[in-house]
Structure 1
Amino acid sequence: MDITLGRKAVLIIDDFQNMRAQLSQMLGSLGVQRKPDVAGSAEEALELLRSRRYDIVLCDYNLGEGMHGQQLLDLARREGCVDVATVFIMVTAENSTEMVMGALESGPDAYLAKPISKELLNARLLKALRRRVPMSPVAQVLRQGDTEQALQLLDTMLAAGRGERADILRLKAELALETGALDLVQEVCEAVIRERPVAWAITSLGQAAMARGELSRAETLFRQAIVVTPYFMAAHDHLAAVLELQGRSRDALEVLEQAVVRSSRSLSRQRRLGWLSMQQREWELARSAWRQVIELGKPMESVRAEDYFNLVCALLEMGESARAAKALEEMQQSVAADPLLRWWFMLGRLHLAIRDRDDKEAALDALDGLMLKAIPPLEVHKALIEVLGRLGEVTRAELLRQQLPD
């Protein structure tokens, strides 16, 4: 397999034209024959990634307005634009702990700090290509949705000694988890751990135990993974999840609170922290989490009207009615495409009316008008019953309760 740079398709993503030109020139001097494609923003990069396949992506972490490099990588992976055969190298001049943890959590093939030397870039590229090029046949069948054939190819690679053994075993465990092949997960991960304790393998064993309903064993395994590698953030997330399943929401909250101190730029982690904080009535923590959800989700257009509603609730519980009203206004402007916007906005308005009784009648009239046009979705239906009860609207609440499905 070709692990040279010669004919590789390369994409350079950086918001500074001079840096794009410098990296292009550097790659040319290293033997890249095709002129690299370039993008000055995450949005432009996504268009290119969706239109063709790249062997190598060099991406700056800070991309100005919009998504940063970690968010771009996460989204590109979800969409299949960056797969197991793609070399993705993160480049940045920033070196804060928060940024480094965020970048490393997204799992690029390498992390390069500016200024970059040609020699270091060449070394990192060749090392990454040795890992990724052998995965090309696997990536191809996965794009076709054939997980079974992908697992067969991975076994062939292991038998032939082709590719990086650790990468092959990890992907094999991930695919086995996705397909529910729990015995295979256990077989692969135990083989890895016999050689040395590895956080991802211990965590995968914990996930398999969770899937079997062995919650106590899963908790033990996730805690072991954290001891082995404290900054392996997936273990923290799964530990919080298994604690929740055991009814230990307070313990789960503490785990996630510590996790966001280590790595705060995960949208899903902040969203879960927000929910748990509200359940435990930790309103200051909830307010912070929902603000982070909105900040992280905006560039990826992943914010939901419900996220704003939760922020409104936290702000009201903190006595910040003016800020809650402002967040409600921002909801309308920022998530206009959310099909549930009108319902979450209505709920937010009713919650504000609990504090500001002058708006109560107008809010109730607006609710009556909305109810004439549509039936609220189930998650909103129950919340409407609760807030109407708090407003003393017993009859309206009872009518809504009667409309709930059995």
Structure 2
Amino acid sequence: MIDYSNKRVLIADDFSGFRSSVTGMLRQMAVRNVDAVATGEETLALCRNTQYDVILHDYNLGEGKNGQQVLEELHHTKRISPHCIFVMVTAESSQAMVMAALECEPDAYLTKPFNRASLEQRLDKLVQRKAALKPVLEAVSRNDPQAVVDACRTITQEQPRLATLCQRYLADALAQLGQDAELETLLSGLVGDRPLPWALVALANHLRARGKLDEAQALYERGVELFPMLPALFDGLAAIHDARGDSLAAQQCLEQGVRISPHALQRQVELGKLARRNDDYAKAARAFRHAVGLGRNSAFRSPETHLQLAATLTEQDGPGVINSKVLLEIRQTLAEVDKTWKDDPTLIARSNLLQGSALIKNGQKSEAERYAQMASERLEGFEGSLAPDTVLDMARQLRDLGRADTADSVLSTCAEMYGDDPAILEQIAAQTDNPEILKAGEQAKTCNREGIKCYQQKHFPEALELFRQASASQPRNISYALNTAQSLLQLLAQTPDEALKAECLRSLGQAHNMPTSDKRYERYQKLRRAADAL
């Protein structure tokens, strides 16, 4: 029999009668420390200062954050211990709600009504599981993936019956460590005649990330046959179709995922982006509207969603005048950006440009020029740190609004940051023929190419010097900064040196503002972990 007397439990439910009822059940189980709240915001406030052993959280709390958003934020802010048991409680049974709850992966899902016996039976199993995995969970809480691997292997060897409980932790740790061969072996062993859903998705994602698109697609399609209600499979298929240039097929896959689980914010955002690229503005606007709504109580709220919605609404009717209702929605959407993110001058400039674009389309030239002027002023000293397609859009909008000088300044920054990428440079060249922009980084590119050759030949000191020259010439270029850091790490692996370590951290600091969507972001994270481990 489990001793609950020393457990600290939090109940979150907007009905006082239910809070009282569950508190009574817990008292009968000898729980002495029980806190009860009515809102998700109160849950987050308490969790800032208190570590709970068990959280029983209702999904639908009325206004404000729901249970899914609370759990996401607890994980995002690291205010919940891996040892804590989080149980999602609800009286609802709609597919949208159930899928939303399951996708945020609570430890358990409990349907109302329930009695003390069923609550205790569920908690007993969860407490026993957490106790069995204690060494693994302690390693997870320390963010020590190697210790997680060691603990999983020890538990599996000493208690084989617990192997299935360790497998997902082991897979996550191997991925963190970059041990791709071991990870693939583990996941392949779990994807047999009766594959575990999470393992099938993890293996398909792993193969896709390494460019093995055919193998990944076959796994996703097999998964859809076996688990047709698993939206992550449609996410994966969409990514594969998109990588192959078939954005229409990608959109159809995401639409299926959204039908299954419409409350997933990021899935709605990705659907909106794909639909916009496909000129399917009605579906793009619908997806972005949904994402804006979901984001209002989410830790993952982003101004990008509002800006995408405003841009979609501006584009949706082609060259014609925007009707008054749509123009009002654009203004309201951008007003929310201006109010919520008022301290970010680049964001406000982008909002100003979208306002100007909508107004110029409606023939309101003088008002549009006012917004263009405000955007130009805010973009003085623009430092980048935006995705290249965003920067290119800004430059195009500035030029359309008669701000060619500011447009060239923005393109110059884009060329310095991303000009080593021929595809991006080609897009820049489509907007300007200014040789000072297009040719500014030629010497740096030459140094970088020579540095790569030296690095491949394991001539690390020579490579470092060439990368230093490239980075000194174009200090905002992300690739040059990462190449410099990687060469420094190779030298530091041979001979520790505090000066070189400091230089490595500075180089990584030059890249730390890159968008998470950047294809180099994963590389940056790996280099950062390696540098921090020195």
TM over 0.5: yes
1:23 aligns with 2:22: yes
AA matched with 1:15: D
**Partner of 1:357: helix, strand, or coil?**
coil
| Residues 113 and 402 (structure 1), Cα distance of their counterparts in 2 relative to 1, 3 Å cut | closer
In the other structure, the counterpart of 1:223 is: 221
**Deviations 1:218-271 (CA, angstroms, capped at 9, x unpaired):** 111122222221222222222222322222222211111110000011111111
Greater CA radius of gyration, 1 or 2? 2
| Residues 28 and 339 (structure 1), Cα distance of their counterparts in 2 relative to 1, 3 Å cut | farther
In the other structure, the counterpart of 2:370 is: 362
1:160 aligns with 2:188: no
**In the alignment, is the contact (CA less than 8 A) between 2:345 and 2:379 conserved in 1?**
no
1: distance between equivalents of 2:17 and 2:161? 36
AA matched with 1:70: Q
| Higher RCO (C-alpha 8 Å, min separation 6) | 1
2: distance between equivalents of 1:69 and 1:396? 45
Of stretches 191-200 and 287-296 in structure 1, the one that deviates more from structure 2 is: 191-200
Alignment of 1:210-359 (within 5 A): 210-318=208-316, 319=322, 320-336=326-342, 338=344, 340-358=346-364, 359=367
Deviation at 1:395, TM superposition (A): 6.1
2: distance between equivalents of 1:4 and 1:186? 40
**In the alignment, is the contact (CA less than 8 A) between 1:4 and 1:126 conserved in 2?**
no
Deviation at 1:156, TM superposition (A): 1.1
Alignment of 1:3-402 (within 5 A): 3-32=2-31, 34-161=32-159, 164-194=162-192, 196-318=194-316, 319=322, 320-336=326-342, 338=344, 340-358=346-364, 359-372=367-380, 374=382, 378-379=386-387, 380-391=390-401, 397-398=407-408, 400-402=410-412
| Residues 89 and 371 (structure 1), Cα distance of their counterparts in 2 relative to 1, 3 Å cut | closer
**In the alignment, is the contact (CA less than 8 A) between 2:303 and 2:341 conserved in 1?**
yes
2: distance between equivalents of 1:83 and 1:222? 32
Deviation at 1:348, TM superposition (A): 1.6
1: distance between equivalents of 2:80 and 2:230? 22
Deviation at 1:214, TM superposition (A): 0.9
1: distance between equivalents of 2:45 and 2:135? 24
**In the alignment, is the contact (CA less than 8 A) between 1:381 and 1:400 conserved in 2?**
yes
Deviation at 1:331, TM superposition (A): 2.2
| Residues 42 and 220 (structure 1), Cα distance of their counterparts in 2 relative to 1, 3 Å cut | same
> RMSD of aligned C-alpha atoms?
2.4
**Partner of 2:191: helix, strand, or coil?**
helix
AA matched with 1:314: T
**In the alignment, is the contact (CA less than 8 A) between 1:219 and 1:243 conserved in 2?**
no
AA matched with 1:112: L
Of stretches 310-319 and 80-89 in structure 1, the one that deviates more from structure 2 is: 80-89
Question: How many positions carry a matched residue from both structures?
Answer: 404
**In the alignment, is the contact (CA less than 8 A) between 1:16 and 1:40 conserved in 2?**
yes
2: distance between equivalents of 1:159 and 1:338? 53
**Identity within the alignment, %:** 29
AA matched with 1:229: F
**In the alignment, is the contact (CA less than 8 A) between 1:3 and 1:133 conserved in 2?**
no
**Partner of 1:254: helix, strand, or coil?**
helix
AA matched with 1:35: N
| Residues 402 and 141 (structure 1), Cα distance of their counterparts in 2 relative to 1, 3 Å cut | closer
2: distance between equivalents of 1:115 and 1:15? 15
Q: Name the TM-score, length of structure 1 as normaliser.
A: 0.91
Of stretches 342-351 and 187-196 in structure 1, the one that deviates more from structure 2 is: 187-196
AA matched with 1:62: N
2: distance between equivalents of 1:246 and 1:86? 42
Deviation at 1:301, TM superposition (A): 4.6
**In the alignment, is the contact (CA less than 8 A) between 1:331 and 1:345 conserved in 2?**
yes
Deviation at 1:12, TM superposition (A): 1.1
**Partner of 2:133: helix, strand, or coil?**
helix
Deviation at 1:389, TM superposition (A): 4.0
Of stretches 180-189 and 149-158 in structure 1, the one that deviates more from structure 2 is: 180-189
**In the alignment, is the contact (CA less than 8 A) between 1:12 and 1:58 conserved in 2?**
yes
**Partner of 2:83: helix, strand, or coil?**
coil
Deviation at 1:346, TM superposition (A): 1.6
